[in-house]
Amino acid sequence: MNILQIHSSIRGTDSHSSRLAQNVVDRLRARHLDTRVTLRDLGAQPHPALDENALGALFTPAAGRSAEQAARVALDDALIAEVQAADVLVLGVPMYNFAIPVQLKNWIDAIARAGVTFRYTENGPEGLLQGKTVYVALARGGLYRDGAADTQVPYLRMVLGFLGLTDVRFIYAEGLNMGPEAVQRGLATAEADLAAALG
């Protein structure tokens, strides 16, 4: 089994979402001894944003790209190849200002490529990253689950589904900035979510 582990926190070793994602990976490895893990830490090594130059490179035929354009497209190609090779994705996702981190948004922008990870058909868009399981380890300072302020889960469910990633399992660690007792409750909830997600 190939696991792609994505950390998007900028907090390094202090990150709750990264620790929770690592817990998911450790549980999966314990169940599947023949497992290879690829870790991409977007907080430590951010992927460049989609800007005018990147868009120009992507829309230039490969044979006509400059060396700079080819190098920029190759950065996105590497991320796409990692996702395509993975059987399982584990995303560590903190909440920043009610949204996903920009580091994770840049990764999504890089892997969402028409004709490669999705395509448009007569019946509408079709995701091409099918047959994979995604575990999303969410870490929040407050309590947002199933509430109007939770923009992360609807967005991630939608955009991942658009790419064909429809088996998405969310693990919530919430209340992490609300005092020691709330932290313990949040981590206990995450443990219960993880047990349910693993089946």
Annotation-wise, does 9 bind a ligand?
yes
In 20-162, beta strands by DSSP E:
36-41, 88-94, 118-121, 124-127, 133-139
Please give the C-alpha separations between residue 63 and each of 42, 67, 74, in angstroms, as whole numbers.
30, 11, 14
User: Distance (Å, rounded) from C-alpha 17 to C-alpha 172?
Assistant: 9
Annotation-wise, does 95 bind a ligand?
yes
Find the helix packing angle between 16-31 and 180-198, rounded to 10°: 30
User: Distance (Å, rounded) from C-alpha 93 to C-alpha 101?
Assistant: 7
Q: What is the largest CA-CA distance in the chain?
A: 59
SS3 content of the chain, % helix, strand, coil (to 5): 45, 20, 35
Annotation-wise, does 7 bind a ligand?
no
Annotation-wise, does 8 bind a ligand?
no
Annotation-wise, does 144 bind a ligand?
no
Annotation-wise, does 98 bind a ligand?
yes
Residues making up the annotated binding site are 9, 15-17, 95-98
Residues making up the annotated binding site for FMN are 9, 15-17, 95-98
